[in-house]
Structure 1
Amino acid sequence: MNKITTWLWFETQAEEAARYYASVFRNTQLGKVVKAPGGGEPYTTEGQVLTAEVTIEGQTFVCLNGGVHPEGKPNDAVSFQILCKDQAEVDEYWDKLAADGGKEVQCGWVKDRYGFAWQIVPEVLPRLTFGPDREAAKRVTAAMMQMVKLDVAVLEAAARG
């Protein structure tokens, strides 16, 4: 068991969501699905899915069927970053997470069909923005702020000036 596990709250789609995330990411493994024994509030239906696990790149997520969340839907206070090796990988994750009800946001952020926020970040971005050339970092940051999906070639061109 991981020391820290991320739990994602769903109304009723926990198992569906775990399978969805397993289809989006390459290095995944579906874990156990826990079903209600019945007889207790709020899970009175025997066999109702309570949780479904998926491990993505070694990070375990437990999808919880918690009913209607008292605070509403997921928000941007928490997001998940996917560090991508190149533009092809950025495009792959972007297209998968934005599909079927997902929403493109800005600066490399996309919300999946369930409303969870993902930052699709090419490896070149932190290298250019945190590198020693502070003027290049400013240009890269300015270019990124104009983008929705991040474009590696444009970021690299901005770094060169």
Structure 2
Amino acid sequence: MPTPTTPLITPHLWYTEDLFAAIDFYTAIFPDSSVSYRETLGPDIRTAEFTLGGQRIIAVEAARADFGFTDVFSFMVHCADQDEVDRYWDRLLADGGSPQQCGWLIDRFGLRWQVVPDRLFELQHDPDPKRSAAAMGAMMQMVKLDIAELESAADAAK
């Protein structure tokens, strides 16, 4: 049962390798991040609890060929401006990540991320449906999201 300081829902990630390296990678990228504990339970099992950007996460590493991250789960990184988009995008792709369509990427550990400027959500909810549709159409053509291009597409739809 959660306590007042424990959230009701906590993401749990299963790594098949490199759990501790992944935690070090992520906590170096995001502010308000820390490692609560990391433990080796045997030659092939590790577990950890850590916080990323204030979000508590539990993780385990145990080799299982049939387990791994897929597109059905990702973390979304909300960015205030283009500098944040660029910074998080570049850092999450470091050392072997793979860029994907529409602001998604796969980091070197196989975890999926969406790096999204808050401005996209504002444009999505624009009262003018033409502006909203134009911004979404532009986003669908991008890999890394570009706020100026999103705004330009919305403005051109007037």
Matched with 1:29 is 34
Shift of 1:66: 1.8
Instruction: State the Cα RMSD in Å.
Output: 1.5
Q: Which SS does the other structure have where 1:60 is aligned?
A: strand
Instruction: Name the structure with the higher helix share.
Output: 2
Q: Equivalent residue for 1:40?
A: none
Q: Which structure 2 segments of 5+ residues have no match?
A: 1-5
Moved over 3 A (4+): none
Q: How far, CA to CA, are the matches of 2:14 and 2:94 in structure 1?
A: 20
Q: For each residue in 1:79-118, what CA deviation from the matched residue of structure 2 results, as whole angstroms up to 9, or x when unmatched?
A: 1111100000000000011111100001100111111111
C-alpha distance in 2 between matches for 1:29 and 1:69: 29
Give the secondary-structure state (helix, strand or coil) at the position aligned to 1:68. Answer: coil
Q: Is 1:153 equivalent to 2:148 in the alignment?
A: yes
Unaligned runs of 5+ in 1: 37-42
**Number of residue pairs matched by the alignment:** 151
Q: Aligned partner of 2:56: which letter?
A: T
Using structure 1 for the length normalisation, give the TM-score.
Answer: 0.87
The CA distance in 1 between the partners of 2:14 and 2:117, in whole Å, is 28
Shift of 1:127: 0.7
Partner SS state of residue 85, structure 2: helix
**TM-score, normalised via structure 2 length:** 0.89
Between the aligned partners of 1:53 and 1:103, the Cα distance in structure 2 is 26
**Aligned runs of 1:103-114 on 2, under 5 Å?**
103-114=98-109
Q: Distance in 2 between matches of 1:63 and 1:100?
A: 22
